Chains A and B, each alone.
Chain A
């Protein structure tokens, strides 16, 4: 490859400073985070009383958010590991986007669990008094493991890019230069080093798939190991994993569009990427739809007394607007958009991605909360407000703050590191030219 072409790629893909839009975006996110932090301080001071969580709905939008974060984090293994191991090269520009979404989401999944605790100062009890038999402990173990693997999978492919960025000392500024040198000054582009990183990435790609499956299966078991209407299912592991892949792929569609338009990466994140990701989203939405039909149609066909109230609440009752919105937005409409080639253009795919992500968030809420409002043994003489759940402004602010925080991590990562791998793009462009 000619040096000028290589330089052009580097120039295009180097991280860029926030423009006007970027600054407004960051300030907005920081404002949402600050409001969330204020709400959390109130929660710490007054206790969970400031939330709408009561003896019935003890899990509300915090746990919905947790399940959502865990779900979206699965995209790291889909794009990076599954597509890499199946020798799919078109996904190369998307790998880092997928990995940073995974790292950011899984970090906030861990944080939101602490937020859900009335006494976060007792978090250490999970380790000192935790029972190995409990899926909660498995979740703690598997989330920590997945975070480490995702960080490594983010770090190893970044090393050659760090070497490139260290070469732009003046552009980087003092602090970024120090950071790059701290992280990758030892990288000398030696063949032995490439050999080690290639091997490490392959090992990580193999390892992350079972861990990713485990993280979401275990999260599903938090519910499925409890005998309650709506959770008592043997299908939950597969149902959660398919849903997680879908929301993750939807998230990537959004990120692809935003980075492509904001950083002008049309040459690297092409229409073809949207076309292919769109097809993947259709496939995943169909699979998830299949599991949803299984999850709701079979119990509805039997309509056991204990399940009836829960199911009717979803189909025609209190939660029906959210239920039908979630089903339509996360599956039906995206399928209808993306199944056609015209729908797999960047703008439509972006729109479909937003629908998938928003619909999936509400789907997580429907998995968590309505079941809690319909226990097998209703409590005697509970206040009427215990039987309904609508989050307080503190809950919305904290949940919104965590979502903004996750976006902020992705935003700052894209400001500091190349969001499309520079070295891999050069190698692939070179091999294309040679071919």
Chain B
């Protein structure tokens, strides 16, 4: 009888093991979504979401998470402004579409929501963002001085903002190179900063043009603002190529002259001898006929 009970217990354990394992397999990680706002040159606006999750005790970016972006703090279908999927860096980006204009113009402040769909490994995630609409303008003055001004929308008026950190630099290889040794400038009471351009020998394009950038990065109230201005302050870049030069590594027909002379002289000399000898065979034939 006792033996019989033991068998029953064993069968029960075996039957339960897969479901216990399954239960462990479906345990999901929570998803953290960070939403950021970007004002690009006061022309376009875009949102970026960064998906992260704590995996093996570390926060790691999460790719392939379907995300939906909403304007206002209500994740209602009527407020949907775009969809995306996080890339290998855990990021997804959308431009705020013109269809959001009505909602956008309602208030100087704006809320956004992003919702990350639940997947096999992750729970549904949600991120929110509230910004005050602002913009930055960049200009120059004599003596290679760069001026930038940050203004925010208060009621219906663009008002200068003080104590906002501004980076003033030059667009370089996808990043920003500061115009001098100062990393950031806080705006004064008029919302302005002034920076002296000290990068004298920076290469520009063929006309010497470089792109100045003034930007506010990850500001809690205003988000990311940037403005660009093209100025002829760089050195002119002359496009140099030796594609058409005669070199040992050039393409067909562009070998160095000395090599061509040498090679063809040798070929002509040796083959002249061969042709001469072939003529001698003809002479031998003639002698044989005579």
Show the binding face of A for B, using Cβ within 8 Å: 129-133, 138, 141, 145, 148-149, 152, 155-156, 159, 185-188, 190, 192-193, 196-197, 199-200, 203-204, 207, 211
Contact = CB atoms under 8 A, between A and B. Distances in A.
Given A187-B288, A192-B287, A149 B252 contact: no
Contacts of B281: 155
A133 B250 contact: yes
Interface in B231-255: 248-252, 255
Interface string B271-290: 10110111011011101110
B267 interface: yes
A130 B263 contact: no
A186 B280 contact: no
Query: When A and B form their complex, which 8 residue pairs have the shortest distance between CB atoms, in order from nearest?
Result: A186-B288, A132-B255, A186-B285, A133-B255, A131-B252, A133-B248, A188-B288, A200-B280
B284 A131 contact: no
B145 interface: no
B270 interface: yes
The B interface, classified by DSSP as helix, strand, loop or mixed, is: helix
A114 B276 CA distance: 30
Contacts of B9: none
A152 B284 contact: no
A132 B260 contact: yes
Contacts of B270: 145, 149, 207, 211
Interface residues of B, number: 26
A129 B252 contact: yes
Given A131-B255, A133-B249, 15 more contacts: A130-B252, A131-B252, A133-B248, A133-B255, A133-B256, A145-B271, A149-B270, A152-B278, A159-B284, A187-B288, A188-B287, A190-B288, A193-B287, A197-B284, A204-B277
Nearest to A211: B270
A195 to B, nearest CB: 10
A193 B287 CA distance: 7
A203 B273 contact: yes
A138 B259 CA distance: 11
Contact of A131 (B251, B271, B278): B251
A25 to B, nearest CB: 33
A159 to B, nearest CB: 7
15 contacts: A132-B252, A133-B248, A145-B270, A145-B274, A149-B274, A155-B281, A156-B277, A186-B284, A186-B288, A186-B289, A187-B288, A192-B287, A193-B284, A193-B288, A199-B280
Given A132-B259, A196-B284, A203 B252 contact: no
A200 B282 CA distance: 12
B287 to A, nearest CB: 5
Contacts of A185: 288
Contacts of B263: 132, 138
Given A129-B252, A131-B251, A133-B248, A152 B277 contact: yes
Contact of B287 (A133, A145, A190, A199): A190
Interface in B146-201: none
A187 B285 CA distance: 7
Given A141-B267, A190-B287, A196-B283, A133 B277 contact: no
A362 to B, nearest CB: 33
B255 A152 contact: no
Nearest to A188: B288
A170 to B, nearest CB: 23
A155 B278 CA distance: 11
A148 B280 contact: no
A187 B274 contact: no
Contacts of B277: 152, 156, 200, 203-204
A66 to B, nearest CB: 22
Contacts of A193: 284, 287-288
A193 B280 CA distance: 9
Contacts of B288: 185-188, 190, 193
Contact of A196 (B252, B255, B259, B280): B280
